[in-house]
Amino acid sequence: MPEDQPKPTPLLDELETGPWPSFVTEIKRAAENNPASADLLGLLERSYQDRKGHWKHGGIVGVRGYGSGVIGRYNDIPDEFPNVAQFHTLRVNHPSGWFYTSDALRTLADIWERHGSGLTNLHGATGDIILLGARTDQLEATFQDLTAAGFDLGGSGSAMRTPSCCVGQARCEWACFDTMKFCNNLTQAYQDEMHRPPFPYKFKVKASGCPNDCVAAIARADLSIIGIWKDDIRQDDAAVAEYAAAGLDIARDVCARCPGQCMEWTGAHLTIDNRDCKRCMHCINVMPKALRPGVERGAAILIGAKAPIVQGALLSSVLVPFVPEAEIEATVRELLARIWEFWDEYGKNRERIGELIQRVGMAAFLDGIGLEPRPEMVAFPRDNPFVFFQKEDTK
Amino acid sequence: MPEDQPKPTPLLDELETGPWPSFVTEIKRAAENNPASADLLGLLERSYQDRKGHWKHGGIVGVRGYGSGVIGRYNDIPDEFPNVAQFHTLRVNHPSGWFYTSDALRTLADIWERHGSGLTNLHGATGDIILLGARTDQLEATFQDLTAAGFDLGGSGSAMRTPSCCVGQARCEWACFDTMKFCNNLTQAYQDEMHRPPFPYKFKVKASGCPNDCVAAIARADLSIIGIWKDDIRQDDAAVAEYAAAGLDIARDVCARCPGQCMEWTGAHLTIDNRDCKRCMHCINVMPKALRPGVERGAAILIGAKAPIVQGALLSSVLVPFVPEAEIEATVRELLARIWEFWDEYGKNRERIGELIQRVGMAAFLDGIGLEPRPEMVAFPRDNPFVFFQKEDTK
Amino acid sequence: MTRITDIGPPHYEKFLHPLIKRNYGHWLYHETLAPGVLCHVAESGERIYTVRAGSPRLLSVSTIRRFADLADQYSGGYLRFTSRHNIEFLLDNPANIEPLKRALNEAGFPVGGTNNSISNVVHTQGWIHCHSAATDASGIVKALMDRLHPHFTREDLPAKLRVAVACCVNMCGAVHCSDIAILGIHRKPPQIRHDTLRKACEIPTLIASCPTGAIRPAVVDGKRTVDVIEEQCMYCSNCFTVCAAMQMNDPENDGLSIWVGGKVSNARSEPKFSKLAIPFLPNNPPRWPEVVSAVANIVDVYARHARRFERLGEWTERVGWPRFFELTGIPFTRYHIDDFRYAGLSYARSTHMRLRP
Amino acid sequence: MTRITDIGPPHYEKFLHPLIKRNYGHWLYHETLAPGVLCHVAESGERIYTVRAGSPRLLSVSTIRRFADLADQYSGGYLRFTSRHNIEFLLDNPANIEPLKRALNEAGFPVGGTNNSISNVVHTQGWIHCHSAATDASGIVKALMDRLHPHFTREDLPAKLRVAVACCVNMCGAVHCSDIAILGIHRKPPQIRHDTLRKACEIPTLIASCPTGAIRPAVVDGKRTVDVIEEQCMYCSNCFTVCAAMQMNDPENDGLSIWVGGKVSNARSEPKFSKLAIPFLPNNPPRWPEVVSAVANIVDVYARHARRFERLGEWTERVGWPRFFELTGIPFTRYHIDDFRYAGLSYARSTHMRLRP
Ligand code: SRM
Ligand code: SRM
Ligand code: SRM
Ligand code: SRM
Ligand code: SF4
Ligand code: SF4
Ligand code: SF4
Ligand code: SF4
Ligand code: SF4
Ligand code: SF4
Ligand code: SF4
Ligand code: SF4
């Protein structure tokens, strides 16, 4: 229950001014009829005073039968802020593409008002609906209300994490495959791996419909599926001329920026040597009415991105240069099985797949999962002369 | 003494055919009146048959008072090839820029005919005159004849190695400093360091007059001195027009290849935004009559190149972005003193300076030699978030 | 009632606008009608209008309901969130665009974030929820966007500019590949709570957790515990992740570092990591003025100097990092020189230099 | 007679052509009169002519005397050698150019090597003199240049093409930064001569010499010696450098690898290391036909496909390495993927791909 007189929060109040929408206002709104949110406000004000956090390690809390989906959290001055003594978050799997109806949102709001702080993140950095702060005894009830409403928890811990995808074919002309269908199917296929952590560490999958990579798959997914096309860029000369007429400096702003160095603008006509095109999207981005990806579409599969802890950040690197649209899902599932088997066998505890590949070497990894080496997998061939030759290749 | 009947060398004879000048012919010429060269031919034929070398580790041989300049060499079948049982090479310091008169060459030829195999390398990969193969008892005599003729030995072992330089101002319009004078002065200044190995490992200095780097200083010198200019490229518009008239595609072959992206050719006039020029030399290389380096000349000093053994090859990296021409020699000598002191204190046995810098970190190295960090030293600032803060910067 | 499990998320089709369903996979091109307002044209000729608004991401249920109401009123109840936490209303009727924009602005949610703007700031939990946070995240975002929001509501930058905040080096979010990233950092080795360590943590696991081998066994007051070799500690907090007795928080020494020039897209150049611009700024709530003005300065310099369609990192690569430091006035220090695994590759291994500042 | 020491090399000024001395530091520009023939014009208007010829580098004193005679006859006795071991005669009289060229050609020394040609092959000792050699150097160079010499005497390539040979991974010469490098390699761990090891080598030094920690102490026939963990050996030969009992030579398994795309100059692109093209070719004296045709094939493909002023490595970077492997027909194998310190940075970390072969 809220105290009669809310504690003053002068530092946070300062953050209610200014043009950008204020998270402090959000907390206050929730605090109007939620004691946990009120205490959160107080605790946060304390952090602002002390310039340090007041949360402790979370213990293992969760819902029955699941090993993930809940992040436990306790504060370190529970006597002063008893209503956030337990303040666990639930990660609720978002619908692919983050589409909602107003009703769906209201359903979520109602459930969360009943059981938790009334505060959410829409969305977490992995993509989940974050229900921000509940007491231990509310977790199971929240979960049951959620599943009854058709929602389920996402991943946490050493599990398959909630896959995410860009808006794709739902509202983007460039999507080279159906990212949302892919994402949803994958999510459904790996419910067990998401809810009962089976891996050495977390595993994330993200899908972007084209190389613009609007879900940052290459930077933050262990498996990054990125749409791409194989044939020629579709070109509408009349529309090109329109852009030129409208003042676009095609030579400077398009051709000169083409990393494939394969475009030429005569002042009247644009030619693309598609063989040298790197499928970077730039020319298409600048002239969406005039240029479109080709029709032979599919995706590239890349592996291994992660944040820096502790061996340095990694970007995903090419594993399969091109899979036709129709085969993406089957290929990914087949690959995942082999990758996880390899990881299970050779991965150390808390070792992401990208780190494992760095440790054992890409070639050994490819052997392990049964893929042939391809030059598209490297930015350049090795420059170090210390080659470990295999016994079968020598006499 | 040569045997009456020279042993047949069918494999090597094969290499006397064809248009390229033959080293086998050279050995045979020497062998005409030199038993060592005759045995070298036989031993080499044996290597060609066996597909392996027949040289053993060299022991410590040399001339009195010097710890370097001679590479000891023995063969592993001395009974069969007694005249190359000892076959040591002398490394003779070449004159800067590899300039000779015919007389100087004859003097060297005479000395070497007297004392050695009559075979040479003009020149070794470090730049020395290589006198290829002498018996131990001839080393001192050769040395004395050489010094009497004004020549001296170069470096070997854990010593300052024979510095080398490009032809520079002797015959190149682009030389931004006097590489030959610099090289000669440096060589004279460090005779002791060259002849009596004082270091943890070898140390090489090479000087190129401009960024074309015609002695490959950046790839194979521990200290690489590379000429560069600070002000604007000198431009002769009439000569530019001549090149254009002669058919040079200035837009495609010059401007589009400019890494500074700072050139524009209107079809009639060339403009260079010199502020963005990376001093790469390309435009000057292509139009030597029209473009020349500026007049504010000097050199960049780079550090640390080496071959791959055993931690991987290194290219030199920027230590001092620009030293005016007049200060190059003094700056280099001052730097060398500090670098060698640091290396002496922290370097491990057989650790090149570049490896040491990698091991302790560039920042620690700069502290050690008393240089301020500058952004020109890095291709890009760090991307890893694990910064070791120094005590004095924290509370 | 049987307990329902493993049903996964609701199928997205249930939430798609009928116009989207009809034209799914058949979009032709798009146009920007105004900052924050996109129009996607389908092969059928149908058009869907998107109105995008900034969100604090941390939303109360009452604000969620407000969004739901707005959707009912203007977009047939259809809306979505973006990968950068903006909210998007999906309209089939262009007449609703202006009223919706007005309503959003009145409710305090600025419309914008499209094309060459600063979109929403990807950020993390900070002091709101995470035990690991070296700083807050939401507060920094609020203070920063109060200053930068004109770049959200106008498309006035050379290219997209993606800003991100992470409250510790775990870097939840794509902070390591952002045009500008603000990162919470520690600068002191852990303070060890010897009293609780024995009970709370396994010493061998703890020792193994340190990537630099800075932790070693020790005996304090006759009890087995650990100590930390200070010079070897890079403040990564990994020991704290496995053992709560390794306290990292330190109000004086915790703070922020600023990283620039990263990107994710493959457009033009390859994806890039962000590089260090400012090694340390103090943790100064509630408005982190040092951080805000440092970032605003970088944005200004970039806006003034970069060419069209040139992301921040593409600009710095073209003009060179020395120019970046010169133009922003940020001092270049020893901390900018990498000393990690790949350090050698970050040294300048050519004479490609712009020598006139 | 007192013993003379530490006098250093003769001063170069003694060897400079008077015309060069007069115009030292005052050159204006240069022109190419023909392949191998340069004309440098001084500010004074004076001209020095250079005639460059290929040399086998390994020279007998009689050939040296021959060069001296040619110099006396045509260039006032002035000549020099280049950093790639060519010989250059320095003429003040253009009338001597043709006679000198004829004389050189008659003597078997081809004139050329300038501009966009293949200049002389930088190489090392090989079986001529080095204990460390996995192959010969001079023989490969001779066989190769017999095939490639038209590219020496004509300037018919898109840009300079620098070829180098090193007979072992010590890589004497700038082999690691060559357009095409031929490298002698071992492919088997050292064979240990246990009988001589004890006498000849210090075991701790030997163990410490191995960069991968593959060498460990062992006892054979009751004597202290070492053994090698085969899987950990990368055949670097460093152990052999410190201990002759670690024999690396193996006629069946020693051989050549081919590396491409390196460069030294800062022209256009930054200096680059050479990258692996062919992991292994057999050691096949006297003419190494596999090596010669592999290199000739790469040169042909490069000559046909690169743009003007595009070095081999610049071309592969523009068109992509997959195209290189496709056009040359060289198979891409597991060995092409790096597994050393910086391996991760060589993986393709973008979707920039040319998908149609
Ligand atoms: C909630 C969330 C941040 C947010 O505010 O959105 C989050 C919060 C935490 N992350 Fe994260 N991570 C979140 C997305 C990410 C991302 C981004 C992504 O998934 O796209 C990353 C970078 C990508 C990656 O996985 O590498 C990320 C990289 C990490 C790491 C570093 C992992 C690594 O291998 O480098 C850790 C540390 C760890 O695992 O021990 C971590 C750990 C944590 C923990 C569990 C703290 C801890 O040390 O145990 C945080 C719990 C905070 C709390 O109290 O709620 N979090 N974390 C995001 C998950 C929400 C969701 O489910 O939608
Ligand atoms: C003679 C010469 C090759 C040639 O045919 O021209 C040569 C020959 C040898 N080099 Fe070298 N190096 C020669 C220039 C180089 C260069 C090129 C340069 O100096 O520009 C390099 C690459 C640059 C560098 O220094 O990194 C070079 C890198 C090595 C290395 C690897 C060093 C490293 O740190 O990576 C070794 C191995 C060692 O030092 O143990 C080595 C070792 C050797 C030894 C001494 C063999 C050994 O293991 O002890 C060779 C003696 C051969 C012999 O029997 O004569 N040599 N060596 C060159 C010296 C001639 C001269 O003085 O002019
Ligand atoms: C809605 C969203 C996808 C989603 O499923 O949620 C989206 C949607 C579009 N993106 Fe994106 N992108 C979205 C996140 C991203 C991200 C991810 C991120 O920022 O974390 C990236 C990678 C950013 C990076 O490189 O760091 C991204 C890189 C792009 C690019 C490449 C920009 C570049 O030049 O580097 C384009 C092309 C363009 O804008 O010209 C693009 C283009 C587009 C287009 C024009 C595609 C289309 O035809 O519909 C969409 C509207 C663009 C706009 O906002 O101006 N989108 N886009 C995301 C909106 C985020 C937001 O609220 O601001
Ligand atoms: C004579 C020599 C210097 C010396 O002191 O010995 C020299 C002399 C000249 N070089 Fe060089 N370079 C010489 C070795 C080099 C090297 C070193 C090497 O090959 O080991 C390089 C670096 C090669 C590399 O990048 O791998 C070198 C890279 C250049 C370049 C840049 C080429 C490029 O586009 O990358 C130029 C400019 C040009 O040719 O357009 C150049 C230009 C020149 C010019 C035109 C300079 C001038 O104005 O006089 C000279 C005649 C060029 C020619 O041969 O076509 N020189 N030049 C060397 C002749 C070697 C030989 O016999 O072939
Ligand atoms: S990643 Fe490509 S397909 Fe997906 S939303 Fe972005 S631009 Fe469209
Ligand atoms: S997609 Fe990129 S690489 Fe391809 S033509 Fe367009 S700009 Fe060039
Ligand atoms: S390095 Fe420069 S100055 Fe020296 S010879 Fe080559 S082009 Fe001329
Ligand atoms: S020297 Fe190089 S960078 Fe400078 S203008 Fe010429 S081509 Fe451009
Ligand atoms: S970045 Fe660090 S502090 Fe912030 S939410 Fe992630 S783990 Fe917690
Ligand atoms: S903070 Fe990181 S480096 Fe420091 S002791 Fe802990 S684990 Fe080791
Ligand atoms: S490359 Fe190796 S084998 Fe050849 S000379 Fe140098 S050290 Fe000897
Ligand atoms: S060859 Fe190299 S890796 Fe192999 S045992 Fe010897 S030192 Fe070690």
CB A120 within 8 A of CB A112: yes
pLDDT, mean of residues D144-151: 98
The verdict on a CB contact (< 8 Å) between C338 and B389 is: no
Cα distance between residue D97 and residue A225, in whole Å: 64
Measured in degrees and rounded to the nearest 5, phi and psi for residue D133 equal -65, 130
Q: Please indicate, yes or no, whether residues A319 and A175 belong to a single structural domain of this protein.
A: yes
Q: Please indicate, yes or no, whether residues A134 and A246 belong to a single structural domain of this protein.
A: no
Q: Is there an atom of ligand 2 within 6 Å of B363 CB?
A: no
CB A338 within 8 A of CB A369: yes
For a ligand 7 pocket test, name from B165, B214, B229, B284 the mutation site with the most ligand atoms within 8 angstroms of its C-beta. B214
What pLDDT is recorded for position B2?
A: 45
What's the C164 CA to ligand 8 centre distance in angstroms?
A: 36
Q: Please indicate, yes or no, whether residues B278 and B313 belong to a single structural domain of this protein.
A: no
Q: Please indicate, yes or no, whether residues B202 and B95 belong to a single structural domain of this protein.
A: no
Determine the angle formed by the axes of helices A102-115 and C61-74, rounding to 10 degrees: 160
Contact list, A386 vs chain B (CB under 8 Å): 308
What pLDDT is recorded for position D221?
A: 87
Q: Which atom of ligand 4 is nearest to B288's Cα?
A: 48
Tracing tokens 């060419």 back to the chain, one arrives at C307
What pLDDT is recorded for position A60?
A: 85
Measured in degrees and rounded to the nearest 5, phi and psi for residue A5 equal -110, 115
Cα angle: C274, vertex C279, C283; to 5 degrees: 110
Inside any domain, residue A157: no
- Name which of C103, C101, C93, C107 is nearest C153 in CA terms: C101
Inside any domain, residue B244: yes
Cα distance between residue D313 and residue C281, in whole Å: 43
For a ligand 9 pocket test, name from C172, C175, C178, C249 the mutation site with the most ligand atoms within 8 angstroms of its C-beta. C172
What's the C235 CA to ligand 9 centre distance in angstroms?
A: 14
pLDDT digits (tens, 9 = 90+) for B314-363: 999 999 999 999 999 999 999 999 999 999 999 999 999 999 999 999 99
Choose the closest CB to A377 out of D318, D324, D347: D347
Q: Please indicate, yes or no, whether residues B333 and B186 belong to a single structural domain of this protein.
A: yes
- Name which of B190, C146, B171 is nearest A23 in CA terms: C146
Choose the closest CB to D146 out of B19, B108, B285: B19
A361 alpha carbon, distance to own chain's centre: 26
pLDDT digits (tens, 9 = 90+) for A177-217: 999 999 999 999 999 999 999 999 999 999 999 999 999 99
pTM: 0.96
Helices (H), A124-247: 139-148, 179-189, 191-195, 217-220, 237-245
Cα angle: C300, vertex C279, C159; to 5 degrees: 30
Domain of residue B361, CATH code: 3.30.413.10
Q: Please indicate, yes or no, whether residues A113 and A94 belong to a single structural domain of this protein.
A: yes
Percent share of chain B, pLDDT over 70: 99
Cα distance between residue D152 and residue A98, in whole Å: 64
Contact list, B393 vs chain C (CB under 8 Å): 187, 280
Q: Which two tokens stand for residue B34?
A: 């030199």
Band of residue C91 on the pLDDT scale cut at 50, 70, 90: very high
Cα distance between residue C247 and residue B324, in whole Å: 52
Q: Is the dihedral of CA B111, B116, B119, B125 positive or negative?
A: negative
- Give B341→chain D minimum CA distance, Å: 23
Q: Please indicate, yes or no, whether residues B185 and B117 belong to a single structural domain of this protein.
A: no
- Asked if the C-beta of C5 comes within 8 angstroms of chain D's C-beta atoms, the answer is no
CB B207 within 8 A of CB B166: yes
CB B175 within 8 A of CB B298: no
Q: Please indicate, yes or no, whether residues B364 and B259 belong to a single structural domain of this protein.
A: no
Cα distance between residue B135 and residue D163, in whole Å: 33
- Residue A165 pairs in a beta bridge with A207
What pLDDT is recorded for position D230?
A: 94
- Give B233→chain C minimum CA distance, Å: 12
Q: Please indicate, yes or no, whether residues B258 and B371 belong to a single structural domain of this protein.
A: no
CB D31 within 8 A of CB D38: yes
pLDDT digits (tens, 9 = 90+) for A270-303: 999 999 999 999 999 999 999 999 999 999 999 9
- Give C218→chain A minimum CA distance, Å: 24
CB B133 within 8 A of CB B117: yes
Q: Is there an atom of ligand 7 within 6 Å of B172 CB?
A: yes
Torsion angle defined by CA atoms of residues B88, B92, B97 and B99, in that order, rounded to the nearest 10 degrees: -100
- For chain D, the average pLDDT equals 96
pLDDT digits (tens, 9 = 90+) for D336-350: 999 988 898 999 999
- Give C341→chain D minimum CA distance, Å: 8
Strands of chain D, DSSP E: 27-34, 37-42, 47-53, 58-60, 78-81, 87-91, 163-166, 180-185, 191-192, 215-220, 223-228, 246-247, 255-260, 275-282
Tracing tokens 């193996």 back to the chain, one arrives at D250
Q: Please indicate, yes or no, whether residues A26 and A122 belong to a single structural domain of this protein.
A: yes
Cα distance between residue D178 and residue D164, in whole Å: 6
Cα distance between residue A306 and residue A220, in whole Å: 5
Inside any domain, residue A325: yes
CB A73 within 8 A of CB A137: no
What's the D167 CA to ligand 11 centre distance in angstroms?
A: 5
What's the C265 CA to ligand 6 centre distance in angstroms?
A: 13
Choose the closest CB to B288 out of D30, D54, D59: D30
Helices (H), chain D: 18-23, 61-74, 97-106, 138-153, 194-200, 203-209, 238-242, 289-305, 312-319, 321-328
Inside any domain, residue A246: yes
Element (H, E) at C218: strand C215-220
Residue partners of B388: CB distance under 8 A and separation at least 6:
C231, C233, C234, C339
Reply yes or no on whether the pLDDT at C357 is more than 70: no
ipTM: 0.96
Inside any domain, residue A349: yes
What pLDDT is recorded for position B115?
A: 98
Choose the closest CB to D352 out of C266, C341, C342: C266
Reply yes or no on whether the pLDDT at D281 is more than 80: yes
Inside any domain, residue B156: no
Cα distance between residue D250 and residue D258, in whole Å: 19
Residue partners of B119: CB distance under 8 A and separation at least 6:
B26, B27, B30, B37, B40, B132, B133, D58, D59, D60, D61
What's the B110 CA to ligand 4 centre distance in angstroms?
A: 32
Cα distance between residue D189 and residue D194, in whole Å: 14
Q: Which of B292, B313, B328 is the last residue of a domain?
A: B292
What pLDDT is recorded for position D356?
A: 75
Q: Please indicate, yes or no, whether residues B124 and B273 belong to a single structural domain of this protein.
A: no
Band of residue D357 on the pLDDT scale cut at 50, 70, 90: low
Q: What is the total count of domains within chain A? A: 3
Element (H, E) at B356: helix B353-360
Contact list, D271 vs chain C (CB under 8 Å): 349-350
- Asked if the C-beta of D351 comes within 8 angstroms of chain C's C-beta atoms, the answer is yes
Determine the angle formed by the axes of helices A328-346 and A179-189, rounding to 10 degrees: 40
Residue partners of D137: CB distance under 8 A and separation at least 6:
D123, D124, D125, D126, D128, D165, D166, D167, D184
Domain residues for the domain of A55 are 10-148
Q: Is there an atom of ligand 2 within 6 Å of B73 CB?
A: yes
Instruction: For an interface test with A, give the residue of B386, B387, B395 to mutate (most A CBs within 10 A).
Output: B386
Measured in degrees and rounded to the nearest 5, phi and psi for residue A367 equal -50, -50
- Name which of A184, A147, A177, A180 is nearest A166 in CA terms: A180
Instruction: Provide the terminal-to-terminal Cα distance of chain C, rounded to the nearest Å.
Output: 74
Side-by-side strand order, sheet with A164-165: A164-165, A205-208, A223-229, A297-303, A317-324
pLDDT digits (tens, 9 = 90+) for D84-115: 999 999 999 999 999 999 999 999 999 999 99
Q: Which of B118, B148, B178 is the last residue of a domain?
A: B148
A15 alpha carbon, distance to own chain's centre: 29
Q: Please indicate, yes or no, whether residues A283 and A315 belong to a single structural domain of this protein.
A: no
Tracing tokens 């007429």 back to the chain, one arrives at A245
Cα distance between residue C300 and residue C291, in whole Å: 14
Q: Which two tokens stand for residue B173?
A: 């319009």
Cα angle: C246, vertex C252, C257; to 5 degrees: 90
Contact list, D254 vs chain A (CB under 8 Å): none
Band of residue A1 on the pLDDT scale cut at 50, 70, 90: very low
Residue partners of D7: CB distance under 8 A and separation at least 6:
B147, B150, B152, B191
- Compare all CA atoms of chain D with the CA of B11 and give the residue at the minimum distance: D286
> Three-class SS of residue D118?
strand
Cα angle: B178, vertex B179, B181; to 5 degrees: 70
Q: Which two tokens stand for residue A188?
A: 């459904």
> Three-class SS of residue B113?
helix
Tracing tokens 């090694």 back to the chain, one arrives at C279
- For chain B, the average pLDDT equals 96
Reply yes or no on whether the pLDDT at A2 is more than 60: no
pLDDT, mean of residues C135-148: 98
CA distances A130 to A127, A149, B333, C321, Å, are 9, 16, 63, 39
Q: Which of A118, A148, A178 is the last residue of a domain?
A: A148
Burial class, D341, CB count within 10 angstroms (exposed 0-12 / middle 13-18 / buried 19+): middle
Reply yes or no on whether the pLDDT at B310 is more than 90: no
Reply yes or no on whether the pLDDT at B5 is more than 80: no
Radius of gyration from C-alpha coordinates of chain D: 24
- Which residues form ligand 8's pocket by a CB distance below 6 Å? B 258-260, 262-263, 272, 277-284
Domain of residue B53, CATH code: 3.30.70.2500
Inside any domain, residue A1: no
Inside any domain, residue B3: no
Strands of A106-208, DSSP E: 119-122, 129-134, 164-165, 205-208
Compute the residue count for chain B: 395
The verdict on a CB contact (< 8 Å) between A15 and C59 is: no
- For chain A, the average pLDDT equals 96
What pLDDT is recorded for position C1?
A: 59
CA distances A240 to A268, A269, C44, Å, are 9, 8, 21
For a ligand 1 pocket test, name from A60, A71, A119, A303 the mutation site with the most ligand atoms within 8 angstroms of its C-beta. A71
Percent share of chain D, pLDDT over 70: 99
- Name which of D223, D224, D204 is nearest D215 in CA terms: D204
Q: Is there an atom of ligand 2 within 6 Å of D125 CB?
A: yes
Domain of residue A265, CATH code: 3.30.70.20
D278 alpha carbon, distance to own chain's centre: 16
The verdict on a CB contact (< 8 Å) between C349 and D271 is: yes
> Which residues of C, range 113-142, sit inside 8 Å of A by Cβ?
122, 124, 126-133, 136, 138-139, 141-142
